[in-house]
A and B are shown apart, each in its own frame.
Chain A
Amino acid sequence: MPERGILGSRSTTRREVLTLGVGAAAYAMSRSGASAQDNTFRFGLTPVFLSNDLELLKLLRDYLSSAIGGSVELVTRRTYQEITALLVAGQLHGAWICGYPYVQFKADLDLVATPSWHGKPLYQSYLITSAGREIADWRELRGDIHAFSDPDSNSGSLVTRALLAENGLQSHSFFSRTFYTYGHRNVIRAVASGLAQSGSVDGYVWEVMLEIEPRLVEQTKIVRRSEWLGFPPIAAPKSLAGDPRVASLRNALISMPKDVDGRKVLALLRLDGFVKTDPGLFDAIAAKVETVRRFG
C-alpha cells in the first residue's frame, strides 16, 4: 500500500531511501522504457526549475527537439532524488540537476553545461525570514521553524547545514523544527505566510521571483547570502557518453542565445545562456558535503 511506503520512508535514512529510490526508479523506467521509443530524447528537470510553467516547458521542448533532432520528452518529478536516480540509472539522457547531487554522483555523471546568470555560472544560497522581523545575524534564527527546499538541494539545504556544521551546530538542534517544501518557491511561500520563520532558498530563484511575484517575495527578506557557488548544472550519465545526442544537447544549450526560440527560453529563465564549465566549479559544494558529513 502506498501509505505504508510513505510512513516507512520516515524511519529510513536519506541515503538508504536514495539507493532504494534509484533502484525502484531504474526498475520502473526499464519496464516503461521497453515500451518507449528508443529514439526519444529524455530530459529531466528538477524542481530547482523556477516553476512548472507550461509555456516554458513547451518552448524548451520545442527548442531542444529542433536542436537535437527527433522527439524530446521532458521528465519532471517532485523531488531531486527521483530525477537524480533516473539520471544515474541512465533512464534520462540528460537532466538539469543541482550541484549537490552532481558532486554526489560525480563518478557517474558528465557535466554537459552550466547556466550563466549575470555573466557567471554562479549563484548563492539565501537564508531568508519574514520581512517585518528585526534580525541582524543568522544566529538569531535559533529556535525557528525552518523551511528547507529539498534534502538534495545545495542552496535549499546543504549550504545552511554546512554553515551550521562550520559553527559546530546541527540543524535539528539549532532550529526547533524543520521541514521540506520540495521547491524554492514553496520555501518563499512558507516564510511569507508565517508557516516557517526562516528558510533556505536558491538565491537565483529568490531574485527572479522578486521580479515575477514581488508581492510574495517582498514579504521576505534576506538574512544571509552564501558565497558564490556553482550554478545547478545540466548533466548526463557517463554511460551515455557516446550518444551523439548528448553532444547535441550541449551544443543546443550553449548556442541557445543565438536562436530566436532559445532566447525566448532564456528570457523566461532570466539567464544569459549556458556555458561549458570545469567540474572543479563544484568543488566548493563538494567541500560543504564533506563538512556536513564530518560535523553535521
Chain B
Amino acid sequence: MKLLGRLRAIPVSYRVPFSVALLMVVISAAISERVLDRLSRTQESFLAGLVGSYLDGLSASVLPAVLRGDVWEVFDALDRSESSYAALSPIETVVTGIDGKVLAASDPKRIPTYADLPLHYLTRYGADPVTLDEKALTGFARRDLMYQGQEVGTIHAAFDVSHLFAERREILVTLLVTNGVLAGLFALGGFLLVRRMISPMRVLENHMRAAAHGSARPIPPSEFPSRDGEAASLFKGYNVLVHAERERADLAMQLAEEEKLASLGRLASGMAHEINNPLGGLFNAIDTLKTHGTTPGVRDTSISLIERGLQGIRDVVEAALATYRPERSARPLAPEDFDDVRLLMTPELRRRRQRLACSVDWGDGGAKSIEGGPVRQALLNLLLNASAATPEGGEIGLHACRTNEHLRIEIVDQGPGMPYDSIVMLTAPSPGSVVRAGLGLGLWMVRRMIDELGGSATVASRSEGGTAVLLVLPVRREETQDEQSHAA
C-alpha cells in the first residue's frame, strides 16, 4: 500500500512510461517463458529422436553379440558408435546381459566387464524417453534388448547435454537483451507520447493552481492545442468559467459599491438632518443678532450658539470625509476612528431613539498593519445592522480592546438573533454559496476586510438577549515592538 501511495505520488508523465515499461517487462517475461518452454520441448523431442536412433542402431549392432555374450563385439560396437554418433556426444554407454551383469561399457575402467551394474544406473531414469539432469548437464536413456519377446539385455546410455542448456542460456540472454531494448524504447516512446498528450492538461493545471491562489487568468489562445479537440474544449470551458467568475466578482464589487452608496445615502440623509438641526438654531441666532445684536448679553449668547452649532456641523463633515475619502481611508486605524464611527451613527441612533454604549481600550501606539478605512466601513455596516436589529429605544454596543497581538472589536445588539446566512457569511471558511446568492453584501464587505487582514469573526448569542459579533484582527508583533522601543 505504501509503495502504491508512492507510485501515485510520481507525476503521470513518468508514471505512464514506467507502467508501459513494466508492462513490457511482464509481457517479455511471459513471452520468454513461452519461447524457452517451447525451445526446451523441441530440444527434448529432438534429443529423444537422436537418442532413439542411437539406441536403435546400437541395439541392432549389439543384439547378436549380447545373445552370444560376446564381450568384445559389444565393446567394439560401443567404441565405433562413439564416433558414429558424435552429434549426440555420448558420455558413457553400458550394455548388460541377460543376467543383468555388465557385458561391456564404453569405459571399461569405470564400469568393468562382468561386474554388477551400479544401483544408481537403474534408478536414474524418469518417465520420459530421455531423463535430463540439469545439474550434471547429462541426459540418460535406456533401451531393453528384446529377442523373440524376451529381454536379453539392456543398453544404459548417458549423453552430454550441456550444449542444449548453453543454447537455452544463449536464447534467454538474447531474449532479455532484445526485450530490454524494446521495453526501453517503448518506455521512452511512451514517456514522450504521454508528455505530449498531457501537456495541455499541464497548462490547465498551472492555470487552475494560479486560480486557487487568487489570480484566475483565462488561457491565452496561443497556448491552445492546435488539433486536440478534447483539450481545446476543456480550455474553452475553463476560460468561460474564468470569465463568469470575473463577471460575478465585478458584479459583487458593483453591488458592494451600491451598498456602500446606499449606506452613504442613509448616512448623508442623517448628516443632512444633523446639519439641518443646528442650522435652525443658527438662523435663529443670526436673527437674534440682527435684532438684538447690540445687546452685549444677547450677542455673546448668540455667537456662542452659532459657534457650537458650527462646531457640530464641522465634526459631522470631518467624520464623513475621514470615512469616504480614499486618501484618508488608507491611513492606519486609530482610536479616533471609533469616535468618527460613533459620530456617523448618531443620526441613525437618534432616529431610532437608541443608545450606543462605546468603550475603546487602545493603550499606547497605533496599528500600522490595519488600514483605518475598511475597518471603519465594516464597523459602520455592523453597527447599522445592529441598530436595525435592535428595537427602537434599545441599546447597541461597540467595545474595542487592543493588546500586543490582537485588536478585539465586539458589536452587540438586542435583536432576535442573526440570520443563518449572515453567520455563514462572517464565519464559514468559504462563504461562496452565500456570496453567489447575493445576500448581505454589507456583511460580505466585512468578511473581505477580515480575510484581507488575516483575522477572524465569531457570532454568539448573548445570555441577556441579542447577538454579539466578535472580530479579532492580528496586530503585527514587530510594530508593537517598534512602538515599545519608541516608547522606551
Q: Which A residues are closer than 8 A to B by beta carbons?
A: 2-3, 6-7, 9-10, 145, 147, 176-177, 179-182, 186, 189-190, 193-196
Contact = CB atoms under 8 A, between A and B. Distances in A.
B112 A145 contact: yes
A3 B67 contact: yes
A267 to B, nearest CB: 29
B75 interface: yes
Nearest to B104: A195
A189 to B, nearest CB: 7
A6 B68 contact: yes
Interface string B45-70: 00000000000000000001001111
A171 B107 CA distance: 25
A7 B70 CA distance: 11
Nearest to B111: A194
Given A7-B68, A193-B79, A195-B75, 11 more contacts: A9-B68, A10-B69, A145-B112, A176-B114, A179-B70, A181-B72, A186-B76, A190-B75, A193-B109, A194-B112, A195-B113
Interface string B194-234: 00000000000000000000000000000000000000000
Nearest to B105: A195
A189 B71 CA distance: 13
Contacts of A189: 76, 79
Given A3-B147, A145-B113, A177-B114, A193 B67 contact: no
A179 B76 CA distance: 13
25 contacts: A3-B64, A3-B147, A6-B64, A6-B67, A7-B67, A7-B68, A9-B68, A145-B112, A145-B113, A176-B114, A179-B71, A179-B72, A180-B72, A181-B72, A186-B72, A186-B76, A189-B76, A189-B79, A190-B75, A193-B79, A193-B108, A194-B108, A194-B112, A195-B104, A195-B113
* Chain B contact residues, majority secondary structure: mixed
Interface of B: 64, 67-72, 75-76, 79, 104, 107-109, 112-114, 147
B104 to A, nearest CB: 6
Q: 9 shortest A-B CB distances, which residue pairs? A: A194-B109, A194-B108, A195-B108, A181-B72, A179-B71, A195-B75, A177-B114, A6-B68, A179-B72
Contacts of B112: 145, 194
B71 to A, nearest CB: 4
Contacts of A7: 67-68
Contact of A194 (B67, B107, B114, B147): B107
A165 to B, nearest CB: 24
Given A193-B109, A194-B108, A195-B104, A145 B114 contact: yes
Nearest to B65: A6
B67 A182 contact: no
A180 B79 CA distance: 16
Contact of A193 (B68, B70, B75): B75
Nearest to B115: A145
A30 B342 CA distance: 159
Contacts of B70: 179
Contacts of B72: 147, 179-182, 186, 190, 195
Nearest to B76: A186
A3 B67 CA distance: 8
Contacts of A6: 64, 67-68
Nearest to B72: A181
B108 A10 contact: no
A78 to B, nearest CB: 10
Contacts of B75: 190, 193, 195
Contacts of A10: 68-69
Nearest to A145: B113
Contacts of B109: 193-194
A136 B458 CA distance: 122
Contacts of A196: 113
A160 B471 CA distance: 132
A145 B71 CA distance: 11
A193 B147 CA distance: 29
A186 B109 CA distance: 17
A195 B71 contact: yes
A101 B438 CA distance: 138
